A and B are shown apart, each in its own frame.
Chain A
């Protein structure tokens, strides 16, 4: 079953409160999204761990009812340059 972009965004923010989440619906079918998630909590984490944190926030939806979530994670610029 497709998920609304707002639902994805809400679930990520519930688990990662400071996350800045940008979601794009890639095809317009409510089933293929791209998400960019920026959070201070990612600092010092490997890319794999950052993605795993987002997958964990989505509680098993990715790979199940949400077929495609193209994911990009990042630490806010001001943290990197500190």
Chain B
């Protein structure tokens, strides 16, 4: 495994909710990354981000890692979830809330 692949694998393993994005959570540099952050914030999720624009090795490596050509990419508990379109679909259906272990608005919450 190349160095970049090892670094990505470690990031994904060590962070329950890991978002690879363009820019930072405070200043996303792309509309899709911005949408991903908005969804995670809306859910009150605790997450880590990596700015791939600052790290060309990860920017290229992540596409190979997941066999997925675009960024952002969300990983939850070590599993690739998808990009911002899939995040939005899962948010709307309530699946993302469930995956992140957040109480759903209609649920009794713990």
Whether chain B is bound by chain A comes out as yes
> What is the interface of chain A, defined by CB distance below 8 A to chain B?
47-48, 51-52, 55, 60, 62-64, 68-72
Query: When A62-B70, A72-B89 are in contact, do A51 and B63 touch as well, CB less than 8 Å?
Result: no
- Interface members, chain B 37-78 (any A CB < 8 Å): 63, 67-71
Query: When A48-B80, A51-B82 are in contact, do A60 and B69 touch as well, CB less than 8 Å?
Result: yes
Assign chain B's interface to a size class.
10 to 19
> What is the interface of chain B, defined by CB distance below 8 A to chain A?
31-32, 63, 67-71, 80-83, 85-86, 89-90
Min C-beta distance of A32 to chain B, whole Å: 9
What CA separation (Å) do A76 and B101 show in the bound complex? 31
CB within 8 Å: A-B pair count: 34
What CA separation (Å) do A54 and B8 show in the bound complex? 25
Min C-beta distance of A29 to chain B, whole Å: 13
What CA separation (Å) do A71 and B82 show in the bound complex? 11
Q: Chain A residues with Cβ under 8 A from B83's Cβ?
A: 51
Min C-beta distance of B21 to chain A, whole Å: 14
Asked if B68 and A55 sit within 8 Å, CB to CB, the answer is yes
Min C-beta distance of A57 to chain B, whole Å: 12
Q: Chain A residues with Cβ under 8 A from B63's Cβ?
A: 63
Counting chain A CB atoms within 10 Å of each CB, which of B32, B67, B69, B90 scores highest? B69
Asked if A48 and B86 sit within 8 Å, CB to CB, the answer is yes
What CA separation (Å) do A70 and B35 show in the bound complex? 12
Asked if B69 and A48 sit within 8 Å, CB to CB, the answer is no
Q: Which one of A47, A62, A70, A72 lies within 8 Å of B69 (CB-CB)?
A: A62
Min C-beta distance of A67 to chain B, whole Å: 9
Query: When A63-B63, A68-B32 are in contact, do A47 and B70 touch as well, CB less than 8 Å?
Result: no
